[in-house]
Amino acid sequence: MEKIEGYVDHIIYRNQENGYTVMVLTSEDTEITCVGTFSYIGEGERLEAEGTYIAHPTYGEQFRVETYAIRPPEDEESVERYLGSGAIKGVGTALAARIVRRFRADTFRIIEEEPERLAEIKGISERKAREIAQQIYEKRDMRKAMLFLQQFGVSTALAVKIFEKYGQRMYEVIEQNPYRLADDISGIGFRIADEIAKRAGVSFDSEYRVKCGISYVLQQAASEGHVFLPKELLLGRTTELLGVPIDDLDPFLVDMAIQKKIVIRKDGDRDCVYSASAYYMEMSTARMLVDLNITGEIDAAVIEKKIASIEQETGTVLDGMQKKAVIEAVRCGLLVITGGPGTGKTTTINTLISYFESEGLQILLAAPTGRAAKRMTEATGFEAKTVHRLLEISGVQEDGGSAEGFGRNAQNPLDADVIIIDEMSMVDIYLMHALLDAVTIGTRLIMVGDMNQLPSVGPGSILKDIIESNEIPVVQLTRIFRQAKESDIVVNAHKINRGEPVTLDNKSRDFFFLKRQDANVIISIVIQLVRDKMPRYVQASPYDIQVLTPMRKGLLGVERLNKILQEYLNPPDAGKKEHEQNGMLFREGDKVMQIKNNYQIEWEVRGRYGIPVEKGLGIFNGDMGIVREINEQTERVTVEFDEQRMVEYTYAALEELELAYAVTIHKSQGSEYPAIVIPLLSGPRMLMTRNLLYTAVTRARKCVTLVGDERTFTQMIDNTMEQKRYTALAARIQELSAM
């Protein structure tokens, strides 16, 4: 280990998440590039560091800092250097020199104890003197706070957030109730707060711990799709999490209800426990749906005449249910159109667009994902946006939050007469609430989707609940049209949905089953199909062929498949940079997926010379992209998503990405691929269900290939078990409709 000492001349790069810093240190008139992780460092700081010199292949010689200490400026030269480094806003080298010339070695004491005396110097007003002193205090306090929080295992980024939120009150919060952090600061959940509390010596049965634990269990339930939990289930999960006897929890629930953090609602003979935000969101969603559900008195014969005219103009022929859908859409403020593949949903949407356009009405189209919106645009010739972009996301939205994160809301509603939303099965309670908040009464809202698809990743079963309420007009399209009947994908999807046996003789042109029993043999065939055979068969690139699997873990789970497929589809190469983060290796050229909603992240579309021509916010759960660049110096990874949106991720932010050569069937919702390959062996019965298989098969446009066990395939068709979601939207709609 070598020792160096000097002043931080300037910081080249700093990762706020983990404190990784690239900076230039001036030591005896020599500039040294230093790299390392620092809890806090500022330009002008005097640094003593130990470490080793390394030769970076791109950036040359660097000093890798292993341990360090920040020393306060001691002599006049170091004080002057610090003040004039740019670390203190409004103080340049000339002013720093005048300050030190006036007060000499006493400079820091004067700034800290008698800051008003700085006004004795020409160019410094009393106000500026106070500002300089304030900055000195803050930097000193920040450094102290960082060191304090380090002992609790808090990352640099979170430490900054904590200090910015509480300032000097931070110490009181940590000592008395660290669980406040989970409520007050984004990025700190129960687990982190609990670890801090443990190190701070907080009792395991502390009131703060129990209440925070209950909130955490409700948050976890939301991530599983539940809007509420039955009280017994909530108490059981909380006991398991905290190790606190179940009988001791009731008083805490009562307290939280009084504090309006939760809502306990009686539903028949059971108590349902909601987070307060989830309850009011469900109630408000039901209220807005009921308010939009108005019917106009328009003669059906007039509508039918117009439909006939559109059929003649466009050369389309609608069946009875499609015509009914158009009539209902014209008459009603709210309508659901549901149906499986090949039942004419797109034709119906196109007819609706033609109808409303001829009336001179303003129409907006949207879908929950970028891929679904793109498909809608291609199918209609009419621009469709994601729901997030339609609502003009502003970047401050949080999962579980209100519509405040959107530019379009009750105060600034969508300017439209008709709004058509496709792939409604993917819409969760958060997004539905935000959408309805931006729709004025009198605007027609038409929701299109397949109620047999898997429910949304987020909480709620919006489409299913609306249909099951029996209060809102629903038109179900059931006829499979002649063209669709020519596709075995469509025919077999409907057979699966009806629980009928599927012929697996491989005489089809677009539906194949390769019977194999060994997991490694299955993987070998999957590689051949994705890399060599399918691209030629469907005229697409290997990246467009999607492997879908029911599970994350196991021999044919996403995690194992992605590691193997990466090696064959994007093998290592001297020209490709790599980075490993949290046990996952990312390589330039990798296919990746965003696995959580990030409303704040910026994206840009770049023009011919790399100049941004469009900017925006938000990348969402399920969005897929390609790793275009890994920059080792700045520790950033550039990913290109659909519509050429480029996003830069810090290394720490890579936890939001995972490889996507294979994805779970749940994650494929709303997407469509030229061809899909499904490896299939036995798995947990709760998972291997009919609607999972149905959802997978309907993701393919040109070809479905299953590789695996025929018995598992048959068992999935027979398994109608669905994971129950705790949601009461249907009941709320019924209650409000009856009033």
Average pLDDT over residues 147-164: 74
Distances (CA, A) of 259 to 212, 222, 599: 13, 21, 29
Given this model, what pLDDT does residue 402 score? 46
Angle formed by the axes of helices 558-569 and 519-528, nearest 10°? 40
Read off the pLDDT of residues 204-223 as tens digits, 9 standing for 90 and up: 788 888 998 898 899 889 98
Is the per-residue pLDDT at 397 higher than 60?
Answer: no
Given this model, what pLDDT does residue 401 score? 45
Closest CA to 579 of 651, 644, 660: 651
Give the highest mean pLDDT range of 321-335, 368-382, 631-645, 711-725: 321-335
For 605-644, b where at least 16 C-beta lie within 10 A, e where not — what string? eeeeeeeeeeebbbbbbbbbbbbeebeeeebbbbbbbeee
Element (H, E) at 257: helix 250-258
| Prediction pTM value | 0.76
Confidence class for position 396, pLDDT limits 50, 70, 90:
low
Read off the pLDDT of residues 676-714 as tens digits, 9 standing for 90 and up: 999 999 888 888 999 999 999 999 999 999 999 999 999
Read off the pLDDT of residues 44-65 as tens digits, 9 standing for 90 and up: 778 889 999 998 877 789 999 9
Which residue intervals of 167-249 are DSSP H helices? Answer: 170-176, 180-184, 190-200, 207-223, 231-242
φ and ψ of 480, to 5 deg? -90, 120
Given this model, what pLDDT does residue 17 score? 65
Given this model, what pLDDT does residue 1 score? 85
- Give the residue with greater pLDDT, 436 vs 151: 436
Is the per-residue pLDDT at 33 higher than 50?
Answer: yes
Strands in 444-449's sheet, in edge-to-edge order, are 384-386, 363-367, 418-421, 444-449, 334-339, 474-477
- Give the residue with greater pLDDT, 157 vs 490: 490
φ and ψ of 274, to 5 deg? -110, 150
Read off the pLDDT of residues 613-628 as tens digits, 9 standing for 90 and up: 898 888 888 889 999 9
| Portion of the chain with pLDDT greater than 90, in percent | 53
538 Cβ partners below 8 Å, 6+ apart? 545, 674, 675, 702, 703
Arithmetic mean of pLDDT over the chain: 88
Is the per-residue pLDDT at 515 higher than 80?
Answer: yes
Is the per-residue pLDDT at 592 higher than 60?
Answer: yes
Given this model, what pLDDT does residue 429 score? 95
Q: 231-235, 286-290, 452-456, 560-564 — which is least confidently predicted? A: 452-456
Average pLDDT over residues 244-256: 90
Average pLDDT over residues 425-442: 94
Given this model, what pLDDT does residue 87 score? 64
Confidence class for position 395, pLDDT limits 50, 70, 90:
low
Confidence class for position 434, pLDDT limits 50, 70, 90:
very high
Given this model, what pLDDT does residue 86 score? 62
Is the per-residue pLDDT at 95 higher than 60?
Answer: yes
d(CA 20, CA 26): 19
Is the per-residue pLDDT at 403 higher than 50?
Answer: no
Which residue has 């909603």 as its token pair? Answer: 597
- Give the residue with greater pLDDT, 56 vs 479: 479
Read off the pLDDT of residues 99-132 as tens digits, 9 standing for 90 and up: 888 888 788 778 777 878 888 888 888 888 888 8
Which residue has 């403020």 as its token pair? Answer: 333
